[in-house]
Structure 1
């Protein structure tokens, strides 16, 4: 009986010890980690504002600043291309894309929305841990960015810069935005926000373009040497005309499959974008192309394609105004 009592006492003591250990683990996970998460949330909230950075950028604009340079295509004979990813993928897709890029010993620059970077810190860390460069894709992937006011542009750019830095300890130097014309004024604003370069693609790739390696070979045959290929991930956020300058700050998220009505056949499963990238890179390799970092491409002082047309229109308007003034003066003299 005595031995049995000792065994019971030992079992009770062990159970108490296990309960104490479990309690300590719980407290650790719900106090120290909780405080860390609260601090992180506070950091991101502050990063959304970036008031000091915006004020500094405005000072630079007022003092006069050169436009950001534009990274553009290479001439024929370079035997290379560059790939930029427009929009931050979710973490599973990011991991698959990284696997494909590493398989082909290729690189890419990921242009991320500031809000998505704030919401997906683990994705940002994965990209940086693997050595991929991050670019500024505005706070929400705002389309027609050149048409936004300067205040909107600075808020989108500076807030994204700060969020990405908070999340990754990396400060982007490259800028892109959906369906955006690189005007001289926009490039000055981009430079004032701390971004030295804007990247101008000559080819856009949409998910679902390829269905097989054979498709990829035909597609790659039409890619010019020295191209910059933009792969669309995020969905651009449209500016609402009725908001008078306010922006829709919903994150640019990946589309989810829709629910089918009863009686309808479900849509055929789509090819994974990582598979498409794998096929495309294989086809480029077969053409003898190497995938380079976009920073190695040409950097130029950019003149928009319609700049000459706009300058001609401005010249004609000025001439018409001058002629009208002369006619007014001539009419006044005749009247005298």
Structure 2
């Protein structure tokens, strides 16, 4: 899978890290939200795990206490643009403006090195714009989104077998329908700890790459 994907993903987009360290990056998109973020912070604390939260600017503005709590717990903040929409459909000027606006909102809580385009789609122009704002794009090796349906209970079953050293896992929070992400995170961290894998931030994972 890695060799095949590497032919499709530009080198300046991080989607996994080549490392032998027994760690993976756990990331959450679309927060913060009072239905999901506090539960995730509780689970991460119980597992002594660290994660990167790719936050939406409008939701940060609506819930600054949650953004502060994420950073205060030692987790990393990432830029997921201003609104929950496909970034690739945004005109270039608007993309640049909203990326910067979200960066300014997040900057109140700590440094931001990474962005994840809404919907996971990007263009070369978006990557150049982000680079001018000192941001690098992050996708993921494995991803899942909760929708409140019965399939939510099987997400950890599907993800856990594929996670290995260097993987970047993408989960989604941010709405009441996604409350199940809390239980999935608990289950996933328990399973992976049993295999000796620990969850770290994207920056920590990147720092462990082979040189």
Which of residues 167, 191, 201 is equivalent to 2:140?
201
C-alpha contact (below 8 Å) 2:78/2:116 kept by paired residues:
yes
Structure 1 residue 218, shift from structure 2 partner: 6.2
Residue matched to 2:68: 125
* 78 and 91 in structure 1: CA distance in 2 versus 1, 3 angstrom threshold: same
What is aligned with 2:53?
A: 110
TM-score between the two structures when normalised by the length of structure 1: 0.52
The Cα shift of 1:180 comes to 3.5
1:191 maps to which of 99, 112, 131: 131
Q: Does 1:274 align with 2:182?
A: yes
Shift of 1:170: 2.5
Q: Secondary structure at the match of 2:43?
A: helix
Corresponding residue of 1:179: 119
Q: 1:126 to 1:169 in 2, by over 3 A?
A: closer
Matching residue of 2:6: none
CA contact (8 A) 2:35 2:179 kept: no
Q: Distance in 1 between matches of 2:162 and 2:142?
A: 10
* Structure 2: distance between partners of 1:162 and 1:81: 28
Asked whether the equivalents of residues 154 and 189 of structure 1 are also in contact (C-alpha less than 8 Å), the reply is yes
Retained in 1: the 8 A contact 2:30–2:56? yes
Q: Which residue of 1 aligns with 2:44?
A: 101
Secondary structure of the structure 1 residue equivalent to 2:120: coil
Q: Which residue of 96, 99, 111 corresponds with 1:157?
A: 99
1:1-336, aligned counterparts within 5 Å? Answer: 69-75=12-18, 77-143=20-86, 145-165=87-107, 168-192=108-132, 194-207=133-146, 209-211=151-153, 216=156, 219-234=159-174, 254-255=175-176, 272-298=180-206
2:5 is matched with: none
Partner SS state of residue 191, structure 1: helix
Aligned pairs, number = 195
Q: Which has the larger radius of gyration?
A: 1
Shift, 1:274, TM fit:
1.4
Larger relative strand fraction? 2
- The answer for unaligned runs of 5 or more in structure 2 is 1-9
Structure 2 CA distance for aligned equivalents of residues 202 and 149 of structure 1: 28
TM-score of the aligned structures, taking structure 2 as reference length: 0.80
Cα deviation, residue 225, structure 1: 3.5
Select the structure with the greater relative contact order (CA < 8 A; seq sep ≥ 6).
2
1: CA distance, partners of 2:76 / 2:181: 20
Q: State the 1:114 CA deviation.
A: 0.8
The 1:184–1:217 alpha-carbon spacing in structure 2 relative to 1, beyond 3 Å, is closer
- Structure 1 portions without partners, runs of 5+: 1-66, 235-253, 257-269, 300-336
Which whole-Å deviations, capped at 9, do the CAs of 1:273-315 have from their partners, x for residues lacking one? 212111110011112211122113449xxxxxxxxxxxxxxxx
More helix by share: 1
Secondary structure of the 1:221 match is helix
